[in-house]
Amino acid sequence: MNAILSNGRGKSFNNEQPTYAMERRSFIKRSALWSAGTFALNQIPVNLLAGSQQLQWLAATANTDKVLVLIQLHGGNDGLNAVIPVSQYAAYYNLRPNVAIPDNGLRRYLTLDGTLPAGSQVGLHPDMTGLKALYDQGKVAIVQGVSYENSGQSHFRSRDIWYMGGDADDYLGSGWMGRYLQTRYPDYPDAYPTPNMPDPPGLEIGRGVSLAFHREDGIPTSISIDNPDQFYGLVKSVGGEPPAEVANTHYGQELAYIIGMEKNANRYAERLKEVFDRGSNSPGVTYPEKYPFNAPAGSLKNPLSAQLRLVARLLSGGCKTRIFLAKIGGFDTHAQQVESYNPTMGKHAALLYHISAAVKAFQDDLKGLGLEDRVVGATFSEFGRRPQSNGSFGTDHGTAAPMFIFGKNVNAGVVGANPDLSNLSRGNLPEQHDYRQVFTTLLQDWMGAPDEAMASTLFADFLTQKLPLVSDGKVITGEPSFVDARFRLDSCYPNPAKGSTTFSYYLNTPAHTTLRLYDTNGRPVREVVNEPQPAGTHRVTADLSGLAPGAYVYRIEAGLLKAAKTLVVK
C-alpha cells in the first residue's frame, strides 16, 4: 500500500491515493451495489455519511446532544452582493455598476447594524430580510473574507480543499471529518446502531456523499430510491453475511465490506422512518416555497426549505444525528446574475432569498419545537466572485467570501472589517480568515472536540486562531444583551419634568412605532408617536401641559423593542 506521508498539516509528499482505497473505489464503481446508503424521506434523498461509520466516534464520546447543520452553496457565492461594504460604497459601485445593489430607493440594501464601527458597516441584499431579522434577534454572525491561501478558482478543486481540510497544494483522499473520527475511533466495527445511539451520527441531504466525510481506507455506498417504501422492499434482498461461495480473496473481502455496510444501512433506514413518522414541524411555521419577485424560471423554487424542514422534523422525532449537510446550487453566476433592468432582482437575488428565508423558517421551527438551544448552523461556498463585474450582468470566479453562522447560541455580530477595495490581490478580495478557523471553532467550541482530537482534522495549527462565534450562554452583569443594545428605550429628560420632556430611543431596524403615556391606572393619557420610523436614534419632545402632577408610565412598542419606564410630572 502506498501511504500518504504528512508533515502534520496535510502536505502530501506522495500525491497518489492509497492503493487499497483506490482498489476499493474501483471495485465499488464496477459493482452493482455502487448506488447502494441513500434513501428518501418525504421524497428527499438522504445519505448515511461515510457508510454510517465516519461519525460514530462523535456520537460515542460526545456528552452533549448538540447539532451542527452545514449548508453548502454550490458554484461560488457572490459575497459582495450579499454583504455590501457600506463604508466603501463608491468603490463597490465603480467596480460593478451593472450589478451593484443600490444605496437608495425602495429596494436599497438593508443596513445591518448601525451600532457597528464605521469600517465594519455593511448592508444585506434587500431579499435577505430573514437573516436580517435573525441578526436583530442575536442569532447570526457574519465572518468576513473567508478563503485559504493561494485560493484556486476551479469549482471541483476548491470544493475538495474545503472538504479535505487542507491547503491549496494538498491532495488527500479523505475529508477533515472522516479523518477526525477515524483517528479518534480507529477500531470501530459495525457494532452500531446501539440503544444509546440508534441513528446515523451524520446525514447528508441529497444524492452522493461528499469528500468531507470520507476516510482513508473506505468509501461509502448508497441506495438511491424515490420513497421509503421502495427502500424497505429493496433492503430485504440486500445485506446479511457474504455468500458462502465467495472466495477469501481481496475482492471477496471487498464484497463482505459492502454487504456489512448495507446491513447497517438497513437498520438505519427503519429507524429514520420511525423517527420521521414520530416527528413534526412547529404549527404556524411556513417554509417559503417560491421567490416572490422576478427571476429565471429555474430559480423560483426554494430547494433549501424542504431540506431544513426535514432536519427539524427528524430532530423533533428524537433523531440523535449530530451533523447534517444540506446543499443549494446555482451560484456560478457568470451571466445574468441580475436582471438587466434591476440589479436587485434575478437569479442571485432568488438564491439569497432562498437561503435567508429558509434559515429563518428553520430557526422559527426549532424555537417552536423547543430545540433551538441544540443547533448551530453555517453556510459555506467553494469561493466568492471577483469584485469587478463582467459585461454579461454577472461576476467571475473569485476568492474570499463571507460565511453566515446562525443559531441561538451564536455570538451575533460581524467578525472582520469590510474588504479594502482599493487594495485588491490580483483583482480579488484579500483573505481575512482561513476557512479552517471557522470549522475549528465550530468543532471545538460548539461540538466540544478536545485538542488531541482536533489534530486528526489537520486543524491543530488553528486552535490558537479560533473566532468568537459561539456563546457560552453566560450573562455579564451590567452588560446589555445584544438585542437590548440595538433596540433600546433611554430615560427621558428632564425627569421629573414640567411642561415638556424629551423621549429618546434607538431602533436597529425600521419599525412601526407607538409611544404612549399612561397613568397609574393603566389608562392612556397622551399619544406621543404612532407612525412608521426608520432605523437610528430618535428624540421626540412631548407636551405635558394639562397633566396632573404625579407618576406616569411611558411605553414603547417598535418591532423587537417593547419597553416601559416611569416619568414624574411636577
d(CA 212, CA 161): 9
Rounded distance between C-alpha atoms, residue 456 and residue 291, angstroms = 42
Asked if residues 430 and 135 have their Cβ atoms less than 8 Å apart, the reply is: no
Q: Is the pLDDT of residue 461 over 60?
A: yes
Residues 341 and 378 in one domain: yes
Cβ distance 356 to 303 under 8 Å?
no
pLDDT for res 29:
38
Residue 341 lies in a domain: yes
Do residues 304 and 199 share a domain?
yes
Spatial CA neighbour of 493 closest among 483, 485, 503, 484: 503
Output the pLDDT for position 479: 67
Shared domain check, 343 and 225 = yes
Q: In angstroms, rounded to a whole number, what is the distance separating the alpha carbons of residues 372 and 407? A: 7
Indicate whether 431 belongs to any domain: yes
Q: Please identify which residue in the block is written with the cell numbers 478543486.
A: 157
Which amino acid, 319? C
pLDDT bin (cut points 50, 70, 90) of residue 54 is very low
Cell of 47: 445519505
Entry pTM: 0.85
Same domain, 530 and 410: no
Res 90 pLDDT > 90: yes
Mean pLDDT for 429-450 is 93
Task: Tell me: do 382 and 298 sit in the same domain.
Answer: yes
Let me know whether 351 and 492 are in one domain: no
Query: Domain with 281 in it: what CATH number?
Result: 3.40.720
DSSP state of 342: B
Smallest CA-to-CA distance from 384 within 148, 125, 135 is with 148
Lowest mean pLDDT segment, chosen from 34-38, 153-157, 431-435: 34-38
Dihedral of CA atoms 395, 400, 402, 405 in degrees, nearest 10, equals 130
Average pLDDT, the chain: 82
Q: Are residues 175 and 48 in the same domain?
A: yes
The conformation of residue 264, written as its DSSP 8-state character, comes to: H
477 belongs to a structural domain:
no
- The pLDDT, as a whole number, for residue 232 is 36
Is the Cβ–Cβ distance between 439 and 166 less than 8 Å?
no
Q: Are residues 457 and 494 in the same domain?
A: no
pLDDT of residue 285: 97
3-state SS class at 366? helix
DSSP 174-205: S-HHHHHHHHHSTT--S--S-SS--S-SEEEE
The answer to whether residues 411 and 492 belong to one domain is: no
Looking at residue 401, its pLDDT comes to 97
| Pick from 461, 347, 469: nearest CA to 406 | 469
Question: Which tops the pLDDT comparison, 130 or 191?
Answer: 130
Write out pLDDT tens, residues 24-48.
444 333 333 333 355 677 777 776 5
Please give the pLDDT value at position 121: 95
Q: What are phi and psi of 234, to 5 degrees?
A: -70, -40
What CATH number did the domain enclosing 553 receive? 2.60.40.1930
- Predicted confidence (pLDDT) per residue in 517-569, tens digit: 999 999 999 999 999 999 999 999 999 999 999 999 999 999 999 999 999 99
Choice among 266-280, 368-382, 529-543 with the minimum mean pLDDT: 266-280
- The pLDDT of residue 506: 98
Q: Is 6 part of a structural domain of the chain?
A: no
Of 74-83, 213-222, 298-307, 362-371, the one with minimum mean pLDDT is: 213-222
| Residue 319 and residue 387 in one domain | yes
Strands (E), 185-300: 202-205
Residue at 82 is within a domain: yes
Q: What percent of the chain has pLDDT over 70?
A: 75
| Residue that terminates a domain, selected from 433, 465, 497 | 465
- How many structural domains is the chain composed of? 2
What share of the chain in percent tops pLDDT 90? 59
Structural domain boundaries enclosing 489: 482-569
> Tell me, what's the pLDDT at 36?
36
Residue 223 pLDDT: 27
Same domain assignment for residues 282 and 420: yes
pLDDT at 463 (0 to 100):
95
Do 267 and 124 have their domain in common? yes
